[in-house]
Amino acid sequence: MKIIILGGFLGSGKTTVLMQFGKYLLRRAQREMKSPSEAPVVILENEISEAGVDNQLLSSANFTVQNIFAGCICCTSTVSLCESVKQIENTWNPEYLLIEATGMAYPDNIRDVLQKEAGKQAVILALADAKRWKRVVRAMQQFVVSQLKDADVILVNKKDLVSEEELETVQEEAAGYNPGARIIPVCALEDHADAFWDEVLQALKFELSET
């Protein structure tokens, strides 16, 4: 089971990216799965409230969705996180598990919990909001750094809403926070071909997370 943690500040476009990336993984997994009856892609949503808007949207797109409402999974609900991951593996044993963290979560904390408490490896796909980058960094730089510093891949979203110079600045600053990450500009509203997501998946280095 390959685990991908999707992180990013509120409004950065996580759910939009999740929909596209999830559909790509579903197509990929269905081509490779030996048993088509299994759920090849499961999404674990961390909802702070019980409104579950994202859950309803994802379910309507035919994804298998599990929810954690007990609190933020990077701090107050670590037990629920580990229990949910084990339940998902035992129930569906998916090829891919996508964990969408809340906008205020620390993805690296989630990865640490999974490794230490559940013995699971995970990779981090983080989003940066190119349009609001300067404003968000100015208001809470340390939080932004914490969200990006251990990501394996950083998608700089909303590239269509900024100039080339602004986009280059965001990429350079993000690279300064995390020199080891692959940084890829994207417009999540565009319908990307599988070749684009192939590049993202390859950059996530899944040979590190197949336990």
Residue of 199, 206, 203, 46 lying closest to 122 (CA atoms)? 206
Please check whether residue 2 is in contact with residue 210, taking contact to mean a CB–CB distance below 8 angstroms.
yes
| pTM, rounded to two decimals | 0.86
Classify domain 2-203 at the CATH topology level: Rossmann fold (3.40.50)
User: For each of the chain's 211 residues, which pLDDT tens digit applies?
Assistant: 999 999 998 889 988 998 899 989 988 887 776 555 468 888 888 755 444 445 555 555 556 776 654 444 444 456 778 888 998 998 888 889 999 888 878 899 999 999 998 999 999 999 999 999 999 999 999 989 999 999 999 999 999 999 999 999 999 999 999 999 999 999 999 999 999 999 999 999 865 344 4
Instruction: Output the CA torsion sign for 50, 61, 152, 183.
Output: negative
Q: What are the DSSP calls for 130-163, one per residue?
A: TTTHHHHHHHHHHHHHHHHTT-SEEEEE-GGGS-
Q: Which residues is 68 bridged to in the sheet?
A: 46
